[in-house]
Amino acid sequence: MEVTIDTILEELEEARQIALAAKSPTAAISASMGKAKLLGLANARVEEDETESSPKEVLVKFV
């Protein structure tokens, strides 16, 4: 079997679905993060809005 980005994404999605069915959110999140990393979406910069003291709003930009 050839290993490609698509086949890895399929495996991660299958693992995520199994984790959700087993009510295992940590495993589901791990699979989702694996997909995000593979697609280059996991490197996010977080910028805080410093105009308000409480509660703070956080803006997340995916690059």
Q: Show pLDDT as tens, one digit a residue, over the chain (63 residues).
A: 799 999 999 999 999 999 999 999 999 999 999 999 998 887 766 565 555 555 656 666 665
Residue 19: per-residue pLDDT: 96
Cis? peptide before 55, omega within 30° of 0: yes
Are the CB atoms for 50 and 32 separated by under 8 Å? Answer: no
| DSSP letter, residue 51 | T
- pTM over 0.85? The answer is no
